[in-house]
Structure 1
Amino acid sequence: MSTERFLVIGGDAAGMSAAAQARRLRTADDLEIVVLEQGDVVSYSACGIPYWVGGQVEDRDALIARTPAEFAARDITVHTRTRAVEIDAGAGKVVTDTGERIGYDRLLVATGGRPNRPPIPGLDAPGVFGVHRLDDGAAIRAALDAGPRRALVLGGGYIGLEMAEALQRRGLEVTVVLADPLPMQLLDADMAERVCAGMGAMGMEMHPDQAVREILVDESGRARGVRTDAGSYDADLIVLGLGMGPEVALAERAGIRLGTTGAIAVDRTQRTRSHPEIYAAGDCSQTFHRVTGEATHVALGTHANKQGRVAGSVIGGRAARFAGVLGTALTKVGELEIGRTGLCTTEAEQAGFDYRSDTIEATTKAGYYPGAEEVAIKLLSEAGSGRLLGAQIVGGPGSGKRIDVLAAAIWAGMTAEDLAGSDLSYAPPFSPTYDPVVVAARVVSRIEQG
């Protein structure tokens, strides 16, 4: 029996999870595994870059889970600094930037995400930094060594907030410029306003509803600020946190079908809809929402790892299916913790749900216990049935991870009444007698029963 070749394009979360899972299930005599990675490292945590920049993580290598040598010891061959430039699906080959043509029996496209880069003059000027790869983090750290005083962060999503905190921790004056009315567009406005107020209380300048029109540069061509319709803001360095889209250029040129979201269309085994021998996983692939069943694109490392494992299982001969997403996510800025899962009100409206939303305020611990912090929880539920559709949390330390209880409840199709009667833990250092999650569910349940 001849040995098959499993070729992976992209050596981070999805790609390496798939390679590792396929190797667990099939031996090197049966399946050769080759990974092409355009960067210097594989299997690293891009989510850790803000904390490396901010100084909570001192060593870059702490963000690297496994090295190419460690994968080689498991009979997985990794070629770093090797970029795939063409997929010849008809011939079953991938062309690299050196002109090499590598054949495959099974191919996984795990090209990840592409940072959004609007056509703003000067966006490529020195002094403007992305936050996508470890090299980006290294470049920002090197710029900080020069002693800048003022930083501009463009964008108010997860990366924007995390980088704003990181730069403030490093002693810079931080200004955040948003094209949107509020940060964290995946939150409802009333919850995002709490985030905006919290950032302002930290001493950050917030400038919403101001799309950047131009990056201002000095005589040497280096960025020195931005211009919006409302005015100009000076800075010694500028960090981009403008979101991510799927990196699909390679797949699109090869004729691999894209979905309605612009990401690669796959079935629940991560097999592409157009080429049965080609799979896709991670930020480049389309998935589906657990609540609505509709196609969606959510760029999160949790999903990428799971999708890679599904693809690796199937290629390894074990049945597996991806179970969908809720978009559960968690971040913090300063002491303020922010979590969300399921649908926000805009998404619920677009999906055609007859829904209600309810917000409660409580404390993270018993009110008399030292360190009790305020927390706000917002629940979206289906009117009539009380089925939980979405949740958002904004509050002090101890708030954020409660989103996981709500995510599990939504995943399981629970109603507010189900959750209100559930057996959650209690002790004064951790929770009031009724945890805020239960309080929120009780409010919804009582209204539905009424």
Structure 2
Amino acid sequence: MAAERLVVIGGDAAGMSAASQARRLKGPDALEIVAFERGHFTSYSACGIPYWVGGDVGERDDLIARTPGEHRERDIDLRMRTEVTELDVAGQRVRALDRESGQTYWTGFDKLVIATGARPVRPALPGMDAAGVHGVQTLDDGQALLDSLDALRSGEGPRRAVVVGAGYIGVEMAEAMLKRGFEVTVLNRGEQPMATLDADMGRLVHEALDGLGVTTVNGAAVTEILTGPDGRVTEVVTEAGAYPADVVVLGIGVEPETGLARAAGLPVGPHGGLLTDLAMRVVGHENIWAGGDCVEVLDLVAGRTRHIALGTHANKHGQVIGSNVGGGYGTFPGVVGTAVSKVCDLEIARTGLREKDARAVGLRYVTATVESTQRAGYYPGAKPMTVKMIAELRTGRLLGVQIVGREGSAKRVDVAAVALTAGMTVEQMTALDLGYAPPFSPVWDPVLVAARKTVAAVRGAGS
């Protein structure tokens, strides 16, 4: 009996996790695996790019978990610099373009995994493709940015970096540019940095950026990028004014890379991502799976799908897909929307719903915000930490938590993520048996203090 063929489109976290897990469950005599990757690298940490650019990670290869050669040693036919340009669902085949030779050819499949990832948002504005304007989605992007920074270092005159966007990537790249010795301006079209937080918590991030010497401009939507005679960026123009720039870093966010799937008629959701069932199988297609940044996932708190581009989810998707393709069983139930980041010594975390998210799904809620320290106040190194908690009116069910603070603050959000997943109320949270010692926490952990205050808010609203 001939082996089945699994074709994988995309050679990063979800795609190669799926291929590797399927190979663990089925040998090459039972399952042939062909994987296509259009870039130069596989299985790398895109989340680590800002830290590589900033110098915290010394070498590019430190971000690579598994090389193409290592995948091939595991009997995976991995074809690098090869882009899938067409998907024929009815014919169960894909057309691939070898970027080196220019050759195109069709490859048939019995089972297909789509792991095409996400693409950076790059508005169609004048000058957006100019020299010196960089995205940071892939290792190739990171290398191009570093090459650009090295060229500026060898020149004379000021070194000014403009970061467009003030989300996770934006603030991380602001830190990287600071570490590289640049004057940094962050242009944010929103009310406050970090739109993943409520504006009152985003204001704390703004204040911290100011303290680091970063100029943050809110309400500044970019309208044009100006260039000099050499075609290189010189200025970023916004509705609020113009800002000189020797390099521009785009941190506007990403959107699902689903053009191939859309053209093939596969189902996509309201956020542009592929729709799958709990087994990560594309809805309505028995032998096609999808995972990673190209899919939408169920928000367990809001009860709706959303698009979240995170390597943690992508690797889990790949494990689930590989298990199902390989004859085992796995499901991905959904997410609660947990994310953490940092800019210098400021840590930023969130999980669950923001206020506007709760309103959007028709939930009535109360909030409470507490200021504490991440260690006992008398212990050396105790620094401020702010926790905001959102709970459903009447029931007291936890809906979301946001944290902004110094070292030791961000990972506390994991307590809230577990509570959200378990459907706990804020009153139940007040009895959690959390670890305590003065170097790690006050005797009442800030998360528990926030829960107590939120309980009072729920009771107050009820009365």
Interval of TM-score (by shorter of Structure 1 and Structure 2) = over 0.9
TM-aligned CA distance change 1:448 to 1:179, over 3 Å: closer
Q: What are the superposed Cα offsets for residues 353-376 of structure 1, whole Å, 9 maximum, x if unpaired?
A: 111111111000000000001000
2:118 maps to 113
1:29-428 aligned at under 5 Å gives the runs 29-97=29-97, 98-146=103-151, 147=153, 149-428=159-438
Q: Structure 1: 5+ residue runs without aligned partners?
A: none
**Conserved 8 A contact 1:152-1:238:** yes
Distance in 2 separating the partners of 1:293 and 1:85: 34
Q: How far did 1:342 drift?
A: 0.6
Distance in 2 separating the partners of 1:13 and 1:230: 39
Aligned-partner SS, 2:242: strand
Return 310-319 or 141-150, whichever deviates more.
141-150
Q: How far did 1:449 drift?
A: 4.5
Q: What are the superposed Cα offsets for residues 11-45 of structure 1, whole Å, 9 maximum, x if unpaired?
A: 00110111111111111111111110001110000
**Which amino acid letter does the alignment assign opposite residue 94 of structure 1?**
V
**Conserved 8 A contact 2:366-2:457:** no
Q: How far did 1:268 drift?
A: 1.1
Identify the match of residue 442 of structure 2 among 404, 407, 432: 432
Aligned-partner SS, 1:52: helix
Distance in 1 separating the partners of 2:85 and 2:185: 39
Q: What are the superposed Cα offsets for residues 168-200 of structure 1, whole Å, 9 maximum, x if unpaired?
A: 011110001111121111100100000011001
**Conserved 8 A contact 2:366-2:458:** no
**Conserved 8 A contact 2:254-2:309:** yes
**Conserved 8 A contact 1:10-1:112:** yes
Distance in 1 separating the partners of 2:41 and 2:454: 48
Aligned-partner SS, 1:214: strand
**Which amino acid letter does the alignment assign opposite residue 201 of structure 1?**
G
What's the TM-score, normalizing by structure 2? 0.96
Q: How far did 1:446 drift?
A: 3.4
Distance in 2 separating the partners of 1:447 and 1:252: 46
Percentage of matched positions with identical amino acids: 52
**Which amino acid letter does the alignment assign opposite residue 234 of structure 1?**
P
**Which amino acid letter does the alignment assign opposite residue 89 of structure 2?**
A
Q: What are the superposed Cα offsets for residues 227-281 of structure 1, whole Å, 9 maximum, x if unpaired?
A: 1122211011011001000000011111111122211111111111132211111
Distance in 2 separating the partners of 1:39 and 1:327: 29
**Conserved 8 A contact 2:189-2:218:** yes
Q: How far did 1:144 drift?
A: 1.5
Distance in 2 separating the partners of 1:261 and 1:54: 31
2:17 maps to 17
Aligned-partner SS, 1:145: helix
Distance in 2 separating the partners of 1:446 and 1:355: 13
Distance in 1 separating the partners of 2:266 and 2:395: 41
Q: How far did 1:286 drift?
A: 1.4
**Which amino acid letter does the alignment assign opposite residue 121 of structure 1?**
P
Q: How far did 1:7 drift?
A: 0.6
Aligned-partner SS, 2:435: coil
Aligned-partner SS, 1:326: coil
Runs of 4+ in 1 over 6 A off after TM superposition: none
Distance in 2 separating the partners of 1:286 and 1:449: 36
Q: Structure 2: 5+ residue runs without aligned partners?
A: 98-102
**Which amino acid letter does the alignment assign opposite residue 235 of structure 2?**
G
Distance in 2 separating the partners of 1:130 and 1:24: 35
**Conserved 8 A contact 1:128-1:223:** yes
Q: What are the superposed Cα offsets for residues 320-363 of structure 1, whole Å, 9 maximum, x if unpaired?
A: 11110111000001111000001010000111111111111100
**Conserved 8 A contact 1:68-1:77:** no
2:100 maps to none
Distance in 2 separating the partners of 1:334 and 1:427: 25
**Which amino acid letter does the alignment assign opposite residue 257 of structure 1?**
P
Aligned-partner SS, 1:83: strand
Q: How far did 1:417 drift?
A: 1.2
**Which amino acid letter does the alignment assign opposite residue 211 of structure 1?**
A
**Which amino acid letter does the alignment assign opposite residue 143 of structure 1?**
S
